[in-house]
Amino acid sequence: MPKRYNDEFKKQIVSLVDNGKKISEIVKEYNISRSTVHKWVKDFNNSGLFKAKDNRTDKEKELIKLRKENQQLKMENDICPKG
């Protein structure tokens, strides 16, 4: 099961990076993967948020909505008898 970190901890890590601490040092000291640290820094510096859904562009949101709608229509089409 993946580790869960609260937003306050993530903000502390982002702050360390933004203030010049090397990511390699953070990875060793806190036992966090390099890719996780990069993702937190990118997400937080882009939007001030960590949740993926909060960092989606309008186009990404629209694509997800359209895929859900398409899936729903396919299911309805499979259920309805073909005349």
Q: What is the pLDDT of residues 18-35, one digit of tens each?
A: 999 999 999 999 999 999
Q: In sequence order, which residues have a C-beta less than 8 Å from that of residue 51 and are 6 or more positions away?
A: none
- At 60 the pLDDT is 77
The alpha carbon of 13 is separated from its chain's Cα centroid by a whole number of angstroms, namely: 16
pTM of structure: 0.57
- Specify whether the CB–CB gap between 40 and 50 falls below 8 A: yes
Q: Tokens 């203030």, residue?
A: 19
- At 38 the pLDDT is 93
Q: State yes or no: pLDDT of 45 exceeds 70.
A: yes
Can you tell me the mean pLDDT for 39-56? 74
- Specify whether the CB–CB gap between 7 and 14 falls below 8 A: no
Please report, for the chain, the start and end positions of each structural domain, with discontinuous segments joined by +. 7-79
- At 9 the pLDDT is 93
- At 53 the pLDDT is 62
